[in-house]
């Protein structure tokens, strides 16, 4: 692992985990934001204060909106945060760190993507009118982008580290190679003079 690159992966995972302390999800009604919760509040669970709104048709207070709402701990948010923490740890392990970090980044990003389709049901599902909208804040998007970046960085490193390095032309395999009888250097078939020492290549040099 290159000295200049070994802290890139853990830094991305660390930043992704810190983004859970930022605004993650907000709830709006008729264009008015009524609640915002962070990623950590999604993990631990929280309460949303009662919604002081009016019914559209009668103009009377809707008792369903006039009470406090519990937002339970969201398993997908918990899983995404855990994968971010795992990514920090495995990125610092010398052996298999790239592959394990790649997996942690991919799974963490997938958990956040699945979170979009699951959150909000316990808050909005039992309202008489579908007036509460769920939107995602910049903390959510930053965390998702950082986890995807961690996956991409580690994928690139896995590909490049497994690619065989060619240090010189002598490392290239040559079919029907001709070897110099003087210095033993490998030359292309049909060569008359050695590319290394200039010695005349004889038929005995052919293998």
Q: Where are the beta strands (DSSP E) in the chain?
A: 23-29, 32-38, 46-48, 69-71, 132-136, 178-179, 186-187
Would you say how long the chain is, in residues?
207
Dump pLDDT digits (tens) for 106-121. 999 999 999 887 765 5
Residue 97 CB: number of other CB atoms within 10 A? Answer: 20
pLDDT at 102: 92
pLDDT confidence band for 101 (50 / 70 / 90): very high
Strands 32-38 and 46-48: unpaired
Q: Which residue has the tokens 């934001």?
A: 33
pLDDT at 3: 54
DSSP state of 14: H
pLDDT at 185 over 60: yes
Is 65 within 8 Å of 53 (Cβ atoms)?
yes
Tokens of 84: 């971010």
Residue 195 or 101, more confident: 101
Q: Rounded to whole angstroms, how far apart are CA atoms 69 and 35?
A: 11
With a threshold of 0.85, does the pTM exceed it?
Answer: no
Q: Residue 41's closest CA among 133, 139, 113?
A: 139
pLDDT at 164: 58
Which of 32-46, 92-106, 139-153, 172-186 is least confident? 172-186
pLDDT at 86: 95
pLDDT at 152: 94
Residue 56 or 41, more confident: 41
pLDDT at 192 over 80: yes
pLDDT at 51: 53
pLDDT at 171: 53
Dump pLDDT digits (tens) for 72-85. 788 999 999 999 99
pLDDT at 29: 72
Q: Rounded to whole angstroms, how far apart are CA atoms 122 and 42?
A: 12
Which of 23-32, 117-126, 188-197 is least confident? 117-126
Q: Residue 184's closest CA among 173, 195, 168, 172?
A: 195
Q: Which H or E run includes 109?
A: helix 97-118
Dump pLDDT digits (tens) for 122-173. 444 444 445 567 888 999 999 999 999 999 999 988 888 766 554 555 555 5
Q: Rounded to whole angstroms, how far apart are CA atoms 51 and 64?
A: 9
Q: Rounded to whole angstroms, how far apart are CA atoms 9 and 91?
A: 6
């Amino acid at each position: 692992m290159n000295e200049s690159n070994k802290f890139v992966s853990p830094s991305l995972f660390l930043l992704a985990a810190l983004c859970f302390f930022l605004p993650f999800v907000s709830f709006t009604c008729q264009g008015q934001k009524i609640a915002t919760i962070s990623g950590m509040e999604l993990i631990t669970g929280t309460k949303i204060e009662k919604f002081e709104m009016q019914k559209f048709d009668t103009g009377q207070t809707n008792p369903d909106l006039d009470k406090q709402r519990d937002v339970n701990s969201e398993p997908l948010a918990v899983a995404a945060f855990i994968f971010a923490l795992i990514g920090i740890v495995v990125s610092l392990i010398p052996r298999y760190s790239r592959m394990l970090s790649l997996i942690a980044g991919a799974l963490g990003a997938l958990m956040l993507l699945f979170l979009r389709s699951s959150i909000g049901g316990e808050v909005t599902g039992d309202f008489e009118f579908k007036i509460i909208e769920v939107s995602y804040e910049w903390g959510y998007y930053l965390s998702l982008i950082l986890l995807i970046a961690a996956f991409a960085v580690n994928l690139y490193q896995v590909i490049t580290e497994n690619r065989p390095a060619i240090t010189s032309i002598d490392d290239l395999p040559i079919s029907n190679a001709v070897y110099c009888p003087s210095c033993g250097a490998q030359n292309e078939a049909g060569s008359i003079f050695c590319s290394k020492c200039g010695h005349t290549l004889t038929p005995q040099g052919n293998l």
